[in-house]
Every structure is written in structure tokens, then in C-alpha cells.
Amino acid sequence: MVKFTVVSGNASTDLAKRIARKLKSPYIKTEKKVFPDGESKITINQIPKKSIVVVVQSTYPPVDSNLLELLSIVSKVQKFSSKVYAVIPYMGYARQDREFLGGEIVTIGVVGKLLKAAGVKKVLTVDIHSKIVSAMDVLVKHFKKLKMKEPLVVSPDMGGQERAKKFANLLKTDFIALKKHRDRKTGKVNILSDRVNVKNRDLVLVDDMISTGGSIVKATQFLKKQKCRRVFVACTHALLVNDAAKKIKKAGVSQIVSTNTLPGESAKVDVSRVIADALK
């Protein structure tokens, strides 16, 4: 039987405890002290016994600080274990996985090199270009409990069409995808779709992550004009920066439902079982 020890960074304490319980493994907490100049000092409370050490740390804002904490913990625990796995439920920089405009740096490649250099043998992340570990099943289970009228799954853009289709299949309903344009330089979003038949139906806007919420706001405003009923939002990672939650609710969204890859008010769906099963 494979033995694990779960070590949590300060960004994912609750989720790490849940994963440890699912794995029936020891749990080790780390402590973080931030000095007035912004530097952090990380302390591991106990030395992990011989096992696979699973370091759990999401790298949401402050992204660089949480990433450095992850690398620091890994560099310490790899002295006690030949197998260190990094569970990064939300992976910062994952959007920067290709050169969209000339001169852009593929930052996720840099992050990968840093993780490897620190001593990580495997990386496990959720729903960011990952087909192995997906939160879709547990998100759909949550929405099956809601009393929705003729639910319709909506992708806010054509790029999320496959995700919306899978979500709709699991929810046993149909889906549509909106046409969207985002200016690569300014980030401004416009909906290009004309009309969609959503009258008197409850809608579930599905995305993998929501940062500023610009796409969700524009999509909701467009759908509300088409006389839909309620609009729900389902996403794996709810970053919701710059008052995004407030803006999304103001646009007409009834409820934002996300997973606990990031802590927050919308984190209603637990992914610890999904992660534990993937580790096993």
C-alpha cells in the first residue's frame, strides 16, 4: 500500500487537510511569517516520515508569493523523501502557455522548470488544460440538486464549447456557445452572437476559471436581454479579482458556484476526493 504524507502551504490549508483525510495520511502544517519588507519565512513543524510527500499549495494571488512558498516547501521536504508530488489545485500562469503576441514569454514553461529544479517528481492540477483531474463531475452533482427550469448550459465563448458540451451531457440537457471577441492588448470583451433562444429557461454559464469576470458580465447582460430566467455561474477556479463577484451579481447572476481549489464565498464544491483518487 502506498504511503503518503500531506504537507500544506498556507494558501491551501483546508483543502490539504481534506485530502489527507481522504488518503488516511499524516498531515503536516507549515507556518509563514512575513517580514515588513515583504520577504517570507516558511517553517515546517515536523519532518515527514518515509513516504511520498504531497505538497498542496494553490498559486492564486499573490501568485508569485504563493509560488515561492510552494518551491520553498518542496526544496525542504525533498531532503526527506525521494518522491515529492506538487498538488497545485489552481495553477497560476497556466494561461500563459503559448506565445499569443510576438515577444511574450511562455511563463508556465518557466514555472515547470522551477518546480523540477526544486525537486518535484509529479505535478497535479485541476481543470486547467488538464483532462486527468477534472472538477466537472462534482460541479454537475451540485447543480443537479438545484431546482432549475429547463436548464441550458452556456459557454461564454467558442473555446469552451467542449467543456459546455460535457457539462450538459452530465446534466442531461443541451448547450450553446456564444461568439466572443477579446482584444489581446486591451482585454476588452464583446459578444458577437446575435440572438439565442433562451426565453424562460434557467442558464448555467460554465467556465474553467473566472478572474475579472468581464466575459461572464458581458454574456449575462446579453442573455438577460434574450429574456432568460435565472443565470447561474459554474466554474472550477473563482479568482474573482477587482470586485468581480459584485459586478457579476450586478449583471444579473443569481449564484456563483466554484470549487475549493481557492477559498472563498463561492467555493461550495469540494474537490478533495477527486484529487485523492488521482493521487492513488
Residue 119's pLDDT is what? Answer: 96
Residue 190's pLDDT is what? Answer: 67
Strand duo 40-44 + 27-34: pairing: antiparallel
Closest CA to 9 of 74, 105, 101: 74
Reading phi first (left if > 0) and then psi (alpha if -120 to 50, else beta), residue 167 is in: alpha
Architecture field, domain 4-130+271-279: 3-Layer(aba) Sandwich (3.40)
Percent helix, strand, coil in the chain, to 5, is: 30, 25, 40
222 three-state secondary structure: helix
Residue 193's pLDDT is what? Answer: 67
Check: CB of residue 191 under 8 Å from CB of residue 239. Answer: no
Q: With the C-alpha atoms ordered 249, 255, 258, 262, is the resulting torsion angle positive or negative?
A: positive
User: Domain ranges in the chain?
Assistant: 4-130+271-279, 136-260
C-alpha distances in Å from residue 261, one per residue of 8, 104, 232: 13, 27, 19
68: its cell numbers: 515561492
- Residue 245 CA to residue 267 CA, distance in Å, equals 12
Strand partners, 209: 237
- pTM for this model (two decimals): 0.91
Question: In the annotation, is 180 catalytic?
Answer: yes
Closest CA to 55 of 34, 77, 40, 33: 77
Written as tens digits, the pLDDT of the chain (280 aa) is 779 999 999 999 999 999 999 999 999 999 999 999 999 999 998 888 888 999 999 999 999 999 999 999 999 999 999 999 999 999 999 887 777 778 888 889 999 999 999 999 999 999 976 557 999 999 999 999 999 999 999 999 988 999 999 999 999 999 999 986 666 666 666 676 677 889 999 999 999 999 999 999 999 999 999 999 999 999 999 999 999 999 999 999 999 999 999 999 999 999 999 999 999 8
Q: Say which of 22, 76, 180, 218 is annotated catalytic.
A: 180
Assess whether the region 4-130+271-279 and the region 136-260 belong to the same CATH fold.
Answer: yes
Helical spans, DSSP H, in the chain: 13-23, 63-77, 107-118, 136-144, 161-171, 214-225, 244-251, 272-279
103: its cell numbers: 515577444
- Residue 239 CA to residue 242 CA, distance in Å, equals 9
Residue 130's pLDDT is what? Answer: 55
Provide CATH code, domain 136-260: 3.40.50.2020
Residue 155 identity: S
- Residue 217 CA to residue 253 CA, distance in Å, equals 8
- Residue 117 CA to residue 114 CA, distance in Å, equals 5
